[in-house]
Structure 1
Amino acid sequence: MSQGSSQPGPAAPHRVVVIVDENSNPFELSCAIEVFGLRRPELGRDLYDFSLCSPEPGTRMRDGLFTLTGVAGLAAADAADTLIVPNRPDVEVPRRPAVLDAVRRAHARGARLVGFCSGAFTLAEAGVLTGRRATAHWMWAASFRARFPAVRLEQDVLFVDDGDILTAAGSAAALDLGLHIVRRDHGAEIANAVSRRLVFAANRDGGQRQFIERPVPDVPDTSLAPVLAWAQRRLDRPLAVADLAARAAVSPATLHRRFRAQLGTTPLAWLTGERLALACRLIERGESRVEVVARRSGLGSAATLRALMRRETGLSPSEYGRRFGP
């Protein structure tokens, strides 16, 4: 570029900052680092500018497992585009005022806020969840509702995306939410690449209900994995719930029960979600003809594709293509 050119340079990477506070959980911190903090040479670019910050020079992590030092001060939170708030197992202990003030400042200036597991308690303490949707680990649902009745807690989900505030239900659900954020920011193809490196499902079906403690059946249901893999290879063909049931050699009613028990969803909802994910990948790879995308993904009509994409991504197919296409 010649000197004096008025053309803008490349946009700065989205800045993700994690606040680490006393007794924070190392696992969720590691999830944030794995999803947002690693270099991505296989993609040819880094997706995020990532950093940690803490209100103290040394932060004692959960159960005194180790002390984290050498990270930025809490002022770094004021530069975050996405701020991941602290979480910890002792949810009844209030957060320190300086942390809550940092969360409030970030929210006031329009930063995206993320809470993993008990991080929803931090967000609620800061007052930014009032009247909003959120989730938290099922073990703490009753405590959360009692303390924060003005928050619309959704218990039977892995995560909640409420626009500028996102919450994950439990420790491993931090990965589900992290990949969802990558998908929202960079598209399904990039999210799939990140999930492959993690060796983790890009879209994990179901909700917390499948993890709540329940008696083990005497004869466990047969795994759905074979019929799911069979269906995923045939998404572009006419495929109904009855076809899935026939492939699994069970009745449709039995198939529904197994989907509910193992995935926490219905066969039709799973099939529609897989087809929409395929449609997104086709658009990201350069297919701009809506009718072709609808046909190759098995969604049938352009109208169905448009309605589903608008509902699930907030974008029309053309808008999605402009944002995530080649």
Structure 2
Amino acid sequence: MRKNQAMTHRVTVLALDDLNSFDLGVPPQVFGAARDATGAPLYTVTTCTDGGAPVRGTGGFRVLPDRDLDAVAEAGTVVVPGVYGAPLADGTIPPAVGAALRAAHARGARIMSICTGAAVLAAAGLLDDRPATTHWAWAERFRRLYPRVRLDPDVLFVDDGQVLTSAGVAAGVDLCLHVVRRDHGSGVANSAARRCVVPPWRDGGQAQFIERPVPATGDAGTARTRAWALDRLAEPVTLTGLAAHARMSVRTFTRRFRDETGESPARWLLRQRVQHARLLLETTDLGVDAVARRSGLGSGTALRHHLAREIGVPPSAYRRTFRRPA
């Protein structure tokens, strides 16, 4: 047990008063679900507050933490859940909280926020001149309080290296899974997602929300056809073929597909193929051309082009970064 504990990465969840209770539960759930091949945990998660005092959460209850701010000094990753109150009212946080966050950042700890927890990072000065996101509903107030932050309220999360921020509620799950994926590869992240019964991957650049209601899919939707296409990524899948499988005209299928997914069939299919290529680069020794063929991208040249456009790196660099030894 001690050996396994020594190998785990320490995550500290820093809770402030008037916190979002859903956000508080996300890091221990997602990081706690990440296991190695033997089933041993890869992270230990602790919750702390200023002075170890209880804090109020949404939902009419208080949270009694395990630790005080000393836990921040020991953490490899610090996560700040969404919060209401002073950080969004007047841009202030307790001095000890700001000092602890700045010290953790200075020594190289990874700093993350979920939802309006970005306001806490901004109040501590950690988001000055950085790209970041938060819940779209608080974007205008956030900009007024923290004008130096390069806020993008249209994405699910922003990975700026040492500092990462996410949009509201479920986007915190996406960010934590992204970090697990960055730390240990797709295999571990996908397993953690299955334990949490959530989708294994939503790209950080995906829009936070669609302004029209999303219709129920049912038998009349495109969900079955999307599943059919995912089983045939290496094959030539055309818009006409997709529409035929769904037993719709091309025009009707395209409209319903966009209503249900927020993107065109061609864009969705390309994104699935790039994601599959990333998985193959992480989990196999296949050459670039073979990865391209199996993911339906055709050639190594096409794979290099699409991977560079999606994430800004070539296949070889991506494999070196994310491939984990067996």
C-alpha RMSD over aligned residues:
3.0
Shift in Å at residue 153 of structure 1?
Answer: 1.6
Change (3 A) 1:24 1:255: same
How far the C-alpha of 1:83 sits from its partner, in A, is 1.0
Taking structure 2 as the reference length, what is the TM-score of the superposition? 0.85
Deviation (angstroms), 1:295 = 0.5
Which sits farther off after the overlay, 301-310 or 244-253?
244-253
Change (3 A) 1:49 1:311: farther
2:43 to 21, 39, 48: 48
Residue 324, structure 1, aligned to residue 319, structure 2: no
Partner SS, residue 296 of structure 2: coil
CA offsets 1:186-209 (integer angstroms, 9 cap, x no match): 111111111111111112364223
Moved more, 51-60 or 112-121: 51-60
SS at match of 1:72: coil
CA contact (8 A) 1:87 1:116 kept: yes
Measured in 1, the distance between the counterparts of 2:151 and 2:290 equals 39
1:105 to 79, 103, 106: 103
Sort the Cα spacing of 1:89 and 1:264 in 2 relative to 1 into closer, same or farther, 3 A. Answer: farther
Structure 2 CA distance for partners of 1:150 and 1:39, relative to 1, 3 Å: closer
SS of aligned partner of 1:17: strand
Alignment of 1:65 with 2:60, yes or no, is yes
Question: What is the TM-score normalised by the length of structure 1?
Answer: 0.85
Q: How does 1:1-326 map to 2 (within 5 A)?
A: 12-38=7-33, 40=35, 44-63=39-58, 65-90=60-85, 91-92=88-89, 94-204=92-202, 206-210=206-210, 212=211, 214=212, 223-250=221-248, 254-312=252-310, 316-322=314-320, 323-325=322-324, 326=326
Structure 2 counterpart of 1:78, one-letter code:
A
Instruction: Structure 1: state its 5+ residue gaps.
Output: 1-8
Number of residue pairs the alignment of both structures matches: 315
Cα displacement (A) at 1:299? 1.3
**Distance verdict in 2 for CA 1:112–1:265, change over 3 Å:** farther
Q: Structure 1 residues 260, 136: closer, same or farther in 2, change over 3 A?
A: farther
- Please report how far the alpha carbon of residue 18 of structure 1 lies from its aligned counterpart in structure 2 after TM superposition: 1.0
Partner SS, residue 176 of structure 1: helix
Q: CA distance change for structure 1 residues 49 and 237 in 2, over 3 Å: closer, same or farther?
A: same
Distance, in Å, in 2 between the alignment partners of 1:10 and 1:70 is: 21
- Give the Cα–Cα distance (whole angstroms) in 1 for the partners of residues 308 and 183 of structure 2: 16
